[in-house]
Structure formats: structure tokens, C-alpha cells
Structure 1
Amino acid sequence: MQFYQNNKSIQTATIMNFCQLIRFNINSRLIHRSIAERMIQSSSRLKNQIWIKNQEIRFSKKIDVIKNQLKIQKNNIRFKETSKSYDSAIQKINDESISYFQKADSLFEMNRFEEALEYYDKAIQKNPENSEYYFGKANTLNNMNRFEEALEYYDKSIKKDPKNSEYYFCKANTLNNMNRFEEALECYDKAIEKDQANSRYFTNKAINLDDMNRYEEALVQFDFAIQKDPKNSDNYFAKAKTLCKMNRFEESLQYIDKAIKQNPEDSDYYSAKAQILKKMNRYEEALKQLDFAIQKDPQNSDNYANKANALHRMNRFEDALKYYDFAIQKNSEDPDNYAGKASVLHDMNRFELALIQYDIAIQKNPEDSMNYAAKANTLNDLNRLEEALKYYDIAIYYDPECSDHYVNKVSTLCKMGRFEDALKYSGEAIEKNPENSENYANKANVLNLLNRDEEALIYYNQAIQKNPENSIYYANKAKTLNKMKKLEDALKMFNKAIKKNPENPQYFYCKANNLNDMNRYSEALEFYNHAIYLNSTNSDYYGAKANILQKLDRYEEALVQYDQAIKNNPFGSHHYANKAAALQKLQRFDEALQFYNQAIDGNPEVSTYFFNKAITLQEMNKDEEALKFYDQAIERDSKDSRYYINKGELLQKQNKLEQAVEQYDYAIKYNPENSKYFFYKANILSKMNRQEEALTFYDLAIKLNPQDSENYVGKANTLNDMNKFEEALKQYDYAINIHPNDSRYYGNKANTLVKLNRFTEALEYYEQAIKNNPENPIYFFNKGIKKINNKFKAVTLDQMNRFEEALEYFDYAIQRNQNDSTKVLEKIKKLQEAQQQENNVIQNNLNNSNYQSIQLEMNDESLQ
């Protein structure tokens, strides 16, 4: 009977572990998703969103470029008219550097930068004291992305004219381009100090602060810029973008509307307003704004591309493709249009077609690193991982300062299991952009995968410090703390994540999981319900709620939730398996088998489905079928020690003891740290009368877990069988010392004392057994505790010639065990008949054979 209870406890633990494992897998996907919303999930769609995000940023930059190009075209016309006169002037007035300078400026406007540099050098050679010449050369170098050289010439122009605010301003812009934001800030401040009336200085300082995630300070500077120039629509526009980053969308809309009011003909503002509305999930309104943008500027291909981007986000993929085609018709030379189309095809899982479009984009602009990175993402999703790495490397070659390329490469390396390499590249991403909070979060996620949890926490903290408004950092930190079993700390972090973003159902779900781990089941249910309220289509929310209801023994309610989970996701095999577990608890075994079969059909590689089906068959006494399914579980996962233990116990039940021992040996091989396995093997060896071997395994169990009292009791019982009663008593004492309230240990010790004829001591231990458990009707699994303890005590009193007291205890046993009173009365009758004869015999010879027969009969009965 004891064996059966052990088996039942293993079964229960297995089912619950199975449910927890499923939940853990779901959590793992969430914990390692991103690298801050960008990595380690099924990175296809998520990584593609990086390209979409960058595409939007580049649209706004490209608009500025187009405006500059219009200016350049005008200057180009002017240059063609005047170029000859410049040449003539240079020939006539060789000593006048101004002519070289003017020609250099014109070449600059035509983007003929190398030639412009030659003429700036000639101007400087003619007049090395003119700061404007150094400044012009610095601007040209800046446009050529030769930033270090540009800084050198800005410094020379400042040295020549330290009072010119424009020099500090442009130097600050270059430093900003180099992500040297602190230095840029100093230069903006110097420019403002020199000229406090120029609104541009405040605007760009604000943008620099925005890049540093110092949003509140940026807003103050935007307000100064607006105060200096209230009619400049771009200041309202820039402030709107910062407010949008802070998720202050309503305010952002107000400022973009002010920009539109100042300049209602600028199509860019309508596009920007559409971006804000998209972030608010107001996609239909966003589409209307994009229609306005198209109406204002129907020849601008970017407006069609932006609308395609919005349709893409709405999962209206076919419409998105149509608008990208419109954009391509308007401007077939723009590589971004092909890349955007590729992005849509990617999300339609039309990967091969996406690769073709990325190749066209690359052909149009072979130096744009983003298109190589996007192609690499697609190759990653095709599991062409080596090729993906190659294209990430090309992206890094063309733009080694872009931290996103390192981040994306990290994702592929993680997919390949190359975590140490991934860690290296996540570190490089931080080096390239130390102000980007996501890079710290990415490194934290990689450290998580390496189980370097303490280090991961450090980097999550740095991510939070860089951007305290990003809720996912708190959530991922919380999941790490949960993994470390720091559940109270995890709970606080989940609360912060929810406070930052109360619309994310996953945060409520993960908080519920954490409460579940804390055994706070009622609260967990509340948060599962909130997650379901926010997203009623996620099957895992219903599944997790059902698991909690199972823990609360509310099985019928759990079944309803499992049904909803299956309805939402009929392909989720774990929902069928968990429903089967609930049906098993309700002893609806035939139905349970049906759902285990469906789980197995859905995913025949999950070993636990076969294992739990075997347990159900075993409960139905279909032992031979159960053995087959234990074997199938082992076939799929030969290193799970639980499977061997349950199979061994079933073989033991069938009295196939040698085969059972073999299964215990496998369990010990795969999990040599589990003391219970040595204990189980010792039990079966004892049953096989291999007591010396049994003692060895009890000793091994004790060595592994000296605080488990059952190990000592098992050893004591075996010593009893070997008639080593004194040694047995010592082991019972060890057990009692560990668990002084367990009545069984006192009862067992009392039995051994009786065998040693130490009746007075035996009575004391029977008294203690009764005191510790006076009401429990079950003892040694199938006899009432009072029948055992009181009847033994009565027998002992009888043996001590105290028949009157013995009769009192027999009466007490009858009262407590009315269903089995007949046997007690028979014993009393035997004692009464033998009373006179036994008195003298017991006094003179306590080893009398009649006495021994009564004692042994009683003891044998107690062990049934």
C-alpha cells in the first residue's frame, strides 16, 4: 500500500510538472523575445519590423534631402551661368582667394565634393586666415561622412573666429551624427551662448537631447525654439515627434496639428500625423492623413510608400503591395520602394520573392547597409543561417556604426546556438551606440540564454536607466528574477511594466504566472482574467487559467477553460494534454485517453504525452498497455528518469522484481542526485530478501539527503527483518529526531521494543504515537491507527499481566474500528480463555511459544 501511495505522488507531481513545463515554454518565448522587441522570438515578423521602423525614419530624412536637391538644382543653374566668370576672375586675380571659395561652394551645392575640397584648399592656401574657408571644407567633409576630418576643420574655423556661433552649431551637428551626444550638447550650448536669438540652435539641441532619451529636457528646448520663432512649423513638428516617443500621443497630435496650421501645404506633416495615429492603433485615421499627403503632393512617391507601410501594419498585405507598386511607378529608382515591397512579401512568407526585391534594392543602392540587413533577416527565416551571417557582415561593412546590424546578427547567432559569439556582438552594439537602451536589453537577453542571470540583471538595469519608459525592460527583468526564484522582486517589476503599459496583456499573464509560482492562486486567476479581457484570442491565457483551476481542484471549471483554449488554437497539443490530465483527476479515464491521443496526434514527439497516458492506463489497471506507453515515452526521451521510476514501480506491482531493479538503475544513471531513486531501489531489494544490498542503497539515499526521515525508516525496517533490533532502534531515533510528530515512527519503534521484550518502553512509544495522531482513521495505509496502536498497547499490557487495562484498550479499539470489531473480539476471547494459564507462563518465561504466536499474529496483521 505504501508503494501505491508513492506512485500516486509521482503521478501527481508529473502532471503538475507537465503543466508547468508548458507554461515555462510559453514564458521562455516571451522572456527571450525581443532582444528588446527585436530578438529571440520567431524573429521573422519582429525583425522585419526593424526595417519598417527604419524605413519610416528614412522617409523623413529623405524629404529633407529632396528639399536640398531642389535648392541645389537652382544653384546649379546659377553655377553654370557664373562658372566661366569665376574661372576668368581666378585667372585675373590669382591673389584673391574668394574666387576659389565661391567656386568650391558651387561645387558643394552640386554634390561634387571631391572637387569642392580642392578649391577650398586653394582658397585656404591663398588666405589661411579666413575662417569661412575652413568652415566650408568642414561642411563638405561632413557631407562625405568623413566626420573626424570635418571636426578638425570646424576646430580650425573656431580657432580663427571663436565668436561665430554657426561654427559651434555645425560642429555639434557632426558630433551628433557620430553619436557623441555629450560633446554635441556642449557645442550647442556654446552656439546658443553666442547667439540666443537663433531658434535652430534650440531645435537641434532638443533633437540631440531626444537622441539621448532625455525627453523632458528636449521638450523645454523645443519650447524655447517655438518662443524664438513661433511661425516656424518645423519646431512644432519636431516637438510632436519627441512627444510621440514618450507615448504622449494626444499632445503629439496637438503639435503636429499646429505645424499643419502654420504650413498646411507641407505633405510631410500629414505623413507624420499618420505615423502618430498608427502608434495609437488608429489606422483608418492614419490612412486618411496619408490620402491628404498624396493629395498635397501626388508626385511624391514617398506618400504612396508611407501609405503602403500603414497598410502593411494593418496586415492588408495585398493593398500594401499595390501602393508600393504605385510608389515604384512614381520613382522606379528609389531602392526603398523595392525594400518596402520586399518587407511585405516577407510577412506573407513569400520569402523567395522578397529576396528578389531586396536584390533590386541593393542593385539600386549597393551601399545601403539596411537592405543587406533586411535580406539577411529573410535568409534567417529560411534557416539559411550561414548566408544570413554573410549579409549581416556586408551590412556591417557598409555601416559599421549601425548598432542594429550587430543586434540582428546576434539573433541569428543565438538561433545557431552560438551564444558566446552572440554575446560578443551584443557588446559591440553597445560600443557603437552606448545611448541606445535597447542594446543593453539585447545583451541582457543573451546573458539570460547563457543562464548568467546576475549579469543579465545588471544590463536590464542599464537599459532601464537609459530609457525608463520602456515597459518591456521591466517585464524581461521580472522574468529573469522569476527564473532566479526571486518572486517578490519579480512581482514588483511586473507591476512597473504594467504601470508603464497597462494595455499589454502579456504583462498581466506573466504576473499571473509569477503569482502562481508563489502559490497565490486566487490572485493569479484575477490576472489571467485581465489578460483574457485584453486579448480574448490567446489560447495560452485560457490554458494557464485552467491549470490554476486544476490546482484548486475545480476540475469542471478547468475543462471549460481548456475547451476555450482548444477553440482558439486547435493545433495546440498541450491544451489537449492538460485537459486529459483534468479528466484523469475526475476519473473519467476513457475521455482522458481520447484527449491524450489527440495531443499525441498533434505532436507525437512530446514524450510527456505518452508518459501521462501510461499513468492513466495504469490507473485503469491496464498494466500491459501502460508499459508500452512508458516504453514510447522512454524512446522519445531516454534521459528522463521519471519514466524509468514509474515503469519500475509497475513492474514491481507485477512482481517482476529483477526487471524493476533494472529500471531503477536507469533512473539512477540519468539522475544520480535524486535520493528517492536509491530509496526505491533499496525498498525493492529488501522485498527480494537482498537485505545487505538494500542497506547499501539506504545509506546512499541518506548520504544524498540526510534530512529525509523515510530513508532511516526504510533502513530500520530492513534491519528489523535481519533481527538487528538494536541497530533498527537507532535508525528510528534518527527518523523521530527529524520528524518528531510522525506517529508511524513511534509505532514502529514500539513494535521493535516489543520484540526485545522491553514492554514498558514500548508502552511509552505507543502512547506517543496515539498522542501525535489521535484521530486519523488510516494507519499503515489500510488499518485504523487506533486499531494498531491501541490493540498493540493492549497486547503489551496483556503480556505484562495487566489484563484489566488491556480490556480497556481493546474496548477503545472496538469503538474506533467498528467495521473490524469482530477480529478484536476474537482476540479478546482468546486472551480471556488463556488468562489463568498465561499469567504464570508470562511471568516465568516471556519467551513462551504461545505468547510468541499471539504476538506474531498481531504483528503480521499490522503489516497487511
Structure 2
Amino acid sequence: MMYTMIRFFSICIAIAVLSFYHTDLAAVQEPHSEPGIPERMPELTIEATGTPETLIAKDEDEDDEDDDDSASAPQSDFEREFQEEALKLHDYVLIPNPSEDDIENFRDFLALNRKRRYKGLKISTAEQHRAIGVASFYETNDTDALHAFKESLKLDPDNARTWYNIGVIYERTGVQKEAFAALNKSSDLNPEYSLPHCKIGTMLIGYKAYEQALEPLDEALRLDPELFEALYNKGVALEKLKKYEEAMEPYLKALEINDDYQDLLTHLAYTSLKLDKMEDAEKYIDESLGQDDENPDALVVHARILNAKGEKEGALEELAKALEKNERHLDAWMAKADLLIEQEKYEEALDAYDQALLCDPRDPNIWRGKGTVLYRLGKLPEALAMFNIVIDKRSDLIDARLNRAIILIDLERYEEAVETCEKILGMNDSIDDAYALRSVAFIKMEQYKEALDSANRAMQINDKNTVARESYEKAQAEMAKINAEKENDNESITAIFENALAASETRSEEELIAAVHELIEKKDMEQADSLAEILIKKYPESQDGWMIKGETAELMLRREDALDAYDAVINLNPEHTQALLRKGAILLQQNNDQEALDIFEKILAYDTENIEAMKGKARSLLHLGYDNEALEVLNTVINTVPGDEEALQLRKNAERSVEKTEESVVPEEPANETPSEADPVMNSFQEGLTLLADRLYDQALDAFNQTIFLDPNHALAWYNKARVFAIQGKTDDAIESLTTALDLDPALKYDIDEDEHFESLRGLDSFKALTE
């Protein structure tokens, strides 16, 4: 079996998430990744916990009047009648939407079973148990159905169809791990039985594991090429993977088998639309709406078709109908947001995204959409916070990181933009847009050689990248200008270096340092760095030599090399203030806020009035969320140096943060809002995520505490509360909050391994125990 490895790995998608996504696969959802950037699907593997035999044993202790290990043949006329009717039903496979005749037969058999109970007769065969299970299932009595099937296994333990039916019941009742166990047992007992493979594929689609769903679905179709459910769901999986041409083949084969299944017609309409086959799209959606003109999924697809035809008012009317039928229809809100964006009604689009978040706050596409709209509104910090949330939820989404880089450039945070682009290239070094944006950032930083190299790499990948081409031309022009200005200095620069190099054996430490400084002033960083390397090799105990080595490394954006150089100075002189200040500044740039705080406090321990150390301490405290403490330090700075502009600006930031904290502790009642218009749980949780992305940790903690106060079982609020504590170094509180989150939603454990917020906890046994 091609996909048997599925059962050997752990479930990677939360069961809680399934409650949002696992439906009858009727919904047609529009992907919302940015144009040209494919959405990457998460890896998913499935493991069934517990053996199938333990699934039977769960009911063995129950007292049941029908328990009888005897399989003796029935004796009375009634017993013979009961057995004959059971034989008509026992092999029935649990499928959706049985015929009315079948339903009538199930009810008649249950009535006969009640008569058997009245007569006090025992069940004597596995077939009778199975028939009771089938009939009970269609009367939506899952408890009786499951018990009956398990009882039949005591008499006939190797019946593949019974194991399949048990898997169906577990899946319907939300017990997913046991469902996979039963379905795998069924396929093991009968490898040629197509239905378990089909059901596994269908469940994987419910987990949004579309690529993996194809393997069991293909296996089901190998065994039964005309299995409707397998054909339909294969089409769904391919559609979700945006393989629209490939999706049409199984959809059309399914249509030949059943041409009046509304969900299939709706999917055919949507897929035809994506293939620009408007005539087919209209035909299929008309047939779908002809069956039920109030079906929300069909209405949403119809709205998309109308919008593609330019009938935007008609599209909005269809979406309004869909939302009237189901106000929590995620795709309807997303489609409405898309349409409003096209009409440049950005504030209304934001409202639509907020409604979508009420449907599913974990969907990164919604946060990404909000970020795009906020960017178009010019609200750059808010847009950046949205894309940070997207990356936090799905670290593999390249387009979210590209958008983050764009916003950082607009915010003039060029070094962070470069770091973001380099993170993308570390994930995939063939993304031309990442090279192009890095080139733009380098130009803003006046690093034209690096800009030229980066733009050239982008054009090698995609010679039509206009951003890269414009950046390349600008970098060339700037370098030509600089070269012209330097032409007269080249000989002197070369002479400085060559003279220093030639006389390095006889030159004093001070002379070499002066030569490095001169090269730095001439902006010849490569030669300055080379000479600095010679300097520290000749004078390894030179504190000034290591300092200038750190300076050249910083100017060349080699922060780790700079840290090494400053550490060398500190090893020689633990109270070298300038080395400590530079190290603290770099740590702040790297978001190592607690380490930076420790450095600045070390300086203040022996130099209590060092203004730069005080400002560094204040920055660290602000990043860590200790706003009141930062405010106290800044007031001291300003009292000492009243005109310090940096301290004045930092104080404004701290005061603003303190005001936000006070507002979040005592939230005002929203004016003229009803419970249907605002969700206080969702509002406080979203606020917490935004504050966390902005590194306003104390305020974020207040927001998550407010969420938990309103909803004590909000697993994600507990999880993000643990993140804040971990960042603040409050280890015990972080472990306690994380334990609560995992108790509420065990599937969150699969997010922990990739979550950078918990780096400080990874060495703890208590943390490792949570991830086992």
C-alpha cells in the first residue's frame, strides 16, 4: 500500500482545528495567497493511538442484556424471521444519504429488534449485531450503533466491513485517532476493499492535507474506478492544490455517475471559473442553484462568477443571501472582502475580515488579507503586525515574509528588511522577489555593491523582474558616481593600505589603527577589514585593535563577527564601557532583549550615570514590556540631559504604552454595539496578538488575561500567555500556562517545536515532557 506510512506518524493538525474544517466537503473556499506565490501546505502524518483490539475492549465491561458468546442457530419462528431480516441488512455499508426505502427497512428492523427485546430473546449471531448497528446508525444513535458493531466483532473479529463501519462512526463523532485505527484495520484485513482508503483520503482533506489525501484516494480508485466518493474527493483535493485542469477529470467522471449532486455541481462551477470557462461555470452553477437556490456554498460561487462578469452589485446580493443563511460562512466573508478590495472600499473590507476571524481566528489567509488592506490604507505598523501574525502561524508562507520586507522598507527599517529577505532565501534561494527587495534595501543603506549583486541574482532567476532591473540600474548609476568621485583618491587609498601592509611588521599599534581609521573614512571597508585582521594578529592583546575590528564588522553588517570582537575586548577588560555598549546595541538589533538588558545593567553597576547605558536599558525594558520601569529610567536621563532627543522620543513611546495598558485593564463598553456586532473574547484575543507582535508584552499579557477571564477554556489565549512569559524569562509561569493550553487542546503540542518564542525553555525537562 503506497501510503501505509501514514499510520506510523503522529497527527500534526489539531483536532480542535478539525471542528472548524471537517465538514461534508461541501464548502468551496477561495485560496487567498498573493499572486504568483504558491501557498505551501503543511506536512501531515497520521498515527492511530491504541490498537484496534483496545477499541473493542472499551465496552467489554458493560452490562448488556444481549451479550451471549453462543452462536447457536435460532430455533423459533420469530428467531428465524429476525435472522432473515438481519441477513438483509448486516452487510450494508454506512454511507451518506441512503434511499428512503433503505431508511424504512432500518426502521422496520429496529421495531423487530424491540419486539425481540420484549420477548427476552438473546442475539445469537454476528449478523444480527451488525444489522442493529446499521439500523441504529441511520437513526443517529451512534452509541447503540458502535456498541452493536463491537459486539459483532467478538463473534466475527476479522470482518473488514465492520471495522470500516466503526471507523465511520468514530469519524462522525469526532474521535479521529480511533477512526484512523479502525479504518487501517479494515484495509489490513481486506487490502482490496476500496472504502477504507476512500474514507482515509476524505478525512485527510478535512485536515487540509490535500497532497497526502491523493494517495489513498488513488488507491481506492485503483480498486474501484467508479467509486463516486473517491472521484469527487480527488477532485476536491486537486482543486484545493490549484490543479484545476487535473481536478476536472475526476469531477467529470463523478458527474457521469451522479449528475444531480449539488456539491459536485458547485465545485465544477468554481473550477470552470478558475479555468476561465465562463460558459461552463454558468451552466454548472445554474444546475446547482436549480436544486437549492439557498445553498450558501453555491451562492458564494455564483457571487464569484457574477463578479468575474463585472456584475458587482449582483455578487454582493448573492453573498448577502449566503450570509443570511449562515452568518458564520467563512468563504462568504472572504469573498466579500475580496470584492470590497476591488472596489477600494477598504474600511468595509476590514470589517469583512473581522467577521471572517470570528469564523476561524487560526486561518492565516484572513490575517494576510487584513495586512494587505491596512497597507493600502497606509497603516504600516498595523499592517506589519498582521503579517507578523501570519508568519507566526505559518512560518513557511513566503509571500507573507515578502510583504513584511516591503513594509519594513517603507518604514525605513532597512536592516530588518534585509534580514527578512535573507530568511526567505534561506528557505528557498530561487525567490527572485526576495533578491530584488534586498537590493532595494541595500540601496537605501547606500551599499551599492551589495545592491548590484542582489539585483543581478534576481534577474538571473527572472529577467522580467522590474523591481530588480530598476534597482540594478540605480545601483550602477550610484556606483559610477562614487567611482568618479573616488577616482582621484584611489591611488592614495591603495597607498595607505599598501604602505601599512608593507610596514606592518615595523608599524606600531597606533599607526595601524590610524591606517584602518583612514580606510574607513574613505569607505574602503574591505581593505579596512583586512588591515584590522592583520592588526589583531600582530597585537592580540590590543583592546583598541579588537574595537576597530568590531567597528569594521558592524559597518559590513557582520554582526556575529562584531560580537566576537567586542567579546574579545570584554575578556581583556570586563569593564570596557564602549565594547559593552556596542554589544548591547547589537543584541537589541537581534531581539535578544534580556541579554541586552543584562549588559546595560552591568555598565550601570560600575558607572551609575552613564547616559548611553541608561537609554539602552530603557530600550530593553520597553521591548520586554516593562513600560513603567523604562519610564522611570528615561525620566532620570532627561533630568540629567534635558535636551536628549532620543530619550524624549523613547519617553513618548513609553507613556503611550502605559496609556494602552491602563485602557486594556479597564476596557470601556463599546458604544451602540450589541453582542451580535462585537465579540469581546475575539476582540481581546486579537488585541493580545497584535500587542505581542509589537513586543508590548505586559499589554499583551493583560489582553490574554482578559480573554481567559471571558472564556477560561480559550486554549490559544493560554498558549500565547505562555509565549509572553517565556519571552519575559518567567519560566515557571510559562510552563504552567503552556500545560493548561495543552490540556485544553492537546494538538497544540505540534506547534511548539517550530515556535521560536519557547527557545529559552527547550533545555528544561518540564518543557520536554510537554512535547513528548
Please say whether Structure 1 and Structure 2 have the same fold, judged by a TM-score greater than 0.5.
no
How would you bin the TM-score normalised by the shorter chain? 0.3 to 0.5
Considering fraction of residues, name the structure with more helix. Answer: 1
The higher relative CO (CA closer than 8 Å, separation ≥ 6) is in 2
Please report the TM-score for the alignment, with normalisation by the length of structure 2: 0.44
